[in-house]
Amino acid sequence: MRKPLIAGNWKMNHNQLATRAWCRRFRDIAREDGRPPAADVELAIAPPFTSIPAFLAETGEEEISTGAQNLHQESSGAFTGELSAGMLVELPVDFVILGHSERRHVFGESDERISLKVAAARENQLLPYLCVGETEDERDSGRMEPTIEKQLQAGLSRISLGSADDLVIAYEPVWAIGTGRTATREQAQEAHGFLREILASICSSEIARGVRILYGGSVKANNAGDLAAMPDVDGFLVGGASLDAGSFLSIARAWSGND
Ligand code: 13P
């Protein structure tokens, strides 16, 4: 029903040269294994903006979708250093990561701004990967649920979903990102199940049942299988471990081993 999605967020890593090397390694592994890299899962990578053309050129024939890590909500104008959804579509990319905790906490993006970006993505037929997640303080003080509920409600406040294919949600607890501290599978399931309930109240239970909810935060090949066993974990948004094509594919295959 929900096809597993393993997505990599390269953040500010891999220039064009490194991107081409990653793609060659990806192809080599698939060839050595003698089977397509994405037989039963969907794969996606969000390189830095300047590496997207190289990634697209190298992966033309592969079953892997390409995304951006951010956009500006306006379609054009005096916004030095920014890129619009329309410009990203031209590349072309399929999806865009929005509301990532680094955008929220390092660059000060508010729920309001994120909702405008989600709306701009949808208007341009770009699939938003809306990220939500609580900080360690919020979790420790029992505010995990209200925090992610508010982020989800606000992020979706300017769009209406026509189908489950119009959105991907990523649950990324801030305390697990880049720290080596992965959420337990019970913690991940609790948050994902809760997000699906909220989603049902925002749109419909049918759409909520079909939307993929990815887990992100220190996912590696050795913990992927465990998390993948949970019913509401539909894939991963992988940071550090996606930078190496071999470890990225191992995560995808850990998923397959689970089926
Ligand atoms: P890590 O996998 O490096 O913890 O990063 C997760 C993340 O932020 C993906 O968007």
Q: Which atom of ligand 1 is nearest to the CA of 11?
A: 10
- Phi then psi for 218, rounded to 5 degrees? 55, 40
- pLDDT at position 259 is 44
> Cα dihedral angle (186, 210, 73, 171), rounded to 10 degrees?
0
3-state secondary structure string across 68-93: ECCCECCCCCCCCCCCEHHHHHHCCC
Q: Is the CB of 238 under 6 A from ligand 1?
A: yes
Residue owning tokens 């995304």:
67
Catalytic, out of 14, 100, 134, 138: 100
Helices 144-155, 185-202: crossing angle, 10 deg rounding: 40
Does the domain made of 5-256 have the CATH classification 3.30.160.620? no
Name the 3-class secondary structure at 44: strand
Q: Is the CB of 219 under 6 A from ligand 1?
A: yes
- pLDDT at position 1 is 80
Calculate how far, in angstroms, residue 78's C-alpha sits from the geometric centre of ligand 1.
31
Burial-class residue 172 by CB neighbours within 10 Å (0-12, 13-18, 19+): buried
- pLDDT at position 227 is 96
Pick the closest to residue 172 from 250, 102, 259 (CA basis).
102
Asked if residues 208 and 163 have their Cβ atoms less than 8 Å apart, the reply is no
State the amino acid at position 30 in one-letter form: A
- pLDDT at position 37 is 65
* Tokens (6 digits) for 127: 């699939």
The CA distance from 137 to 215, in Å, is 20
Catalytic annotation on 100? yes
Q: Is the CB of 126 under 6 A from ligand 1?
A: no
- pLDDT at position 63 is 80
Catalytic annotation on 172? yes
Domain ranges (residues) in the chain: 5-256
Q: What is the pLDDT along the chain (259 residues), one digit of tens a residue?
A: 899 999 999 999 999 999 999 999 999 988 887 766 667 899 999 999 999 999 999 997 668 999 999 999 999 999 999 999 999 999 999 999 999 999 999 999 999 999 999 999 999 999 999 999 999 999 999 999 999 999 999 999 999 999 999 999 999 999 999 999 999 999 999 999 999 999 999 999 999 999 999 999 999 999 999 999 999 999 999 999 999 999 999 999 888 765 4
Name the 3-class secondary structure at 165: helix
The angle subtended at Cα 3 by Cα 84 and Cα 240, nearest 5°, is 60
The CA distance from 117 to 70, in Å, is 9
